Structure 1
């Protein structure tokens, strides 16, 4: 007798209900109606119709920007120092303190109110409004001197029939009035001009003697005038002087 597997019936037929592995008619792993993994009809991970992580339409968490458009990230925001300036009941800072956002007329009056004060600070508006006021007065007085001087000389000169100039060539006394007023103005504002520049460099947290450079170098005076305020310049304030 020969060994056969699986055993056969004497008539040569296979046992009922048993099908050998791999024989025709045997279904692969998985019963009929069951779709094997990855076969048509089953959608595998990442195939069309399923949106994988990070695909268009879905923004992964790691790709989210820190700040939205129009918003500046915290690390890129410039530091804005805060100026703490006391004000009186009328909203005006005391003389020892700088006045940020001062107007033209107030800057003109404050310039003379702090005539020879080298302590404290002066804001950019205090400085440049006074420069504007000083320029206007200088043009009126010094320019008036030249205008009257030239006008009087021209009007007093006559030309005769032979083309020779004649007449009184003496300048008008009014011209010297303008010149005298300009001299008084220049002398009267010399000290407070230095004091204002001194306080201006204090506001940028620089020592006052730096302004001496600006007296002799006009470009340096302009640079000092446009420097931003530095809160550390409060070390030059003297509240005890009022």
Structure 2
């Protein structure tokens, strides 16, 4: 029996939306595990800090401008990554957005923004990465970032939930499509984590207490909770894991305690 190894040495990882929040942490985690990084944001300047931090680890870094709502931008970013590294082992489709509103107040533009970013953008980024780099290499780890809304519906999150549910279904289809090429496709689905998008909610101590009571492990997630699952899905140790949604949610998706905490 061999001791499991989660090293990503000599691997190249591409992470979308790395200027802040979960994407920033994902990129740092993969770099700490040994991977070189392609970092992306809609503005290159926003990547200066994380670029330096990863370079200080001794990793090679390529910062790129990327808007996943634009096919031209996606194609250009993948081509630049290909020109720089000549391969791509790991893709993390993290770029996403949300508009929190009652369903009756959701506009046409709200719907398009969320679905274009979270679902369509993830599909075409994965498509380009697979077509240009992973299929020719007969190897790849595609990690789509979802959320607990992949499997649970919450008031005020109808378009967001639709996009994340779509990501879950899309992962299963892509896994079936690309498995023959040695590519695994999985979803990493965080539960309730404090991010730039929802930070204001966590300023309410009463709400956080109510939320924690709904979670079987009795606390919201911390960034550290996502590092192990991410590296697992990116590594050789997940070689026979595909088409799966890995919920990292403290158990809130498990049953009756998953009712949405209400913001007063």
The answer to whether TM tops 0.5 is no
- Larger strand proportion of the pair: 2
**TM-score after normalising by structure 1:** 0.26
Larger radius of gyration: 1
**TM-score after normalising by structure 2:** 0.24
- Larger helix proportion of the pair: 2
